[in-house]
Amino acid sequence: MELLPHINDRCILLMSGDVGAGKTTSVQFIAEILGMRDVQSPSFAIHLRYENAQGRTLDHLDLYRLKDDDDLESSGFWDLFAQKNSLIIIEWANRLDFDYLPLNWQRLEVKYEKLGETERKITTRLV
């Protein structure tokens, strides 16, 4: 995955796209490269955390079932940014106002578009 070299120690990947566009599969691929296993979609839990043998963490959030800002607040979302180092990946990030995210974290928006059964268009940009 070509965006991996651009990820620093305080990075938020903001993923958006339709159901089945490849967001969770991409998270699993990134986690595998980082030495993390058994990554699942946090659809019902909203937030799952993974750590590799070197202590690198990945916080994986899925905002699909988010009803309102209270749901986000009760998930401990804002506490994640108190960490010194982490990769935070947010699926369904289009449900967030990016302006409220901390400026001292690198923010990469990743948009998925399903073009066919096996074809996807993925675009990235710094936000």
pLDDT tens for 55-85 read 889 999 999 888 777 777 877 888 999 988 8
Looking at the predicted structure, is the pLDDT value of residue 22 above 90? Answer: no
Tell me how far the alpha carbon of residue 48 is from its chain's centroid. Answer: 11
List pLDDT tens digits, range 108-125.
Answer: 899 999 898 889 898 888
pLDDT of residue 81: 92
CA end-to-end span of the chain: 19
Looking at the predicted structure, is the pLDDT value of residue 5 above 70? Answer: no
The whole domain housing 34 covers: 4-126
* Cα distance between residue 20 and residue 100, in whole Å: 27
The residues, ordered by sequence, that sit 6+ positions from 117 with a Cβ below 8 Å of its Cβ are none
List pLDDT tens digits, range 23-63.
Answer: 988 999 999 988 998 888 776 778 889 999 998 899 999 99
**pLDDT-based confidence at residue 3 (cuts at 50, 70, 90):** low
**Helix or strand or coil: residue 75?**
coil
**What is the β-pairing status of strands 47-51 and 106-114?**
unpaired
Token pair 């990134």 is found at: 30
pLDDT of residue 93: 92
Averaged pLDDT of the chain: 86
What CATH code is carried by the domain that includes residue 77?
3.40.50.300
CA distances for 56 relative to 10, 44, 51, 59, angstroms: 11, 24, 6, 10
Domain count, the chain: 1
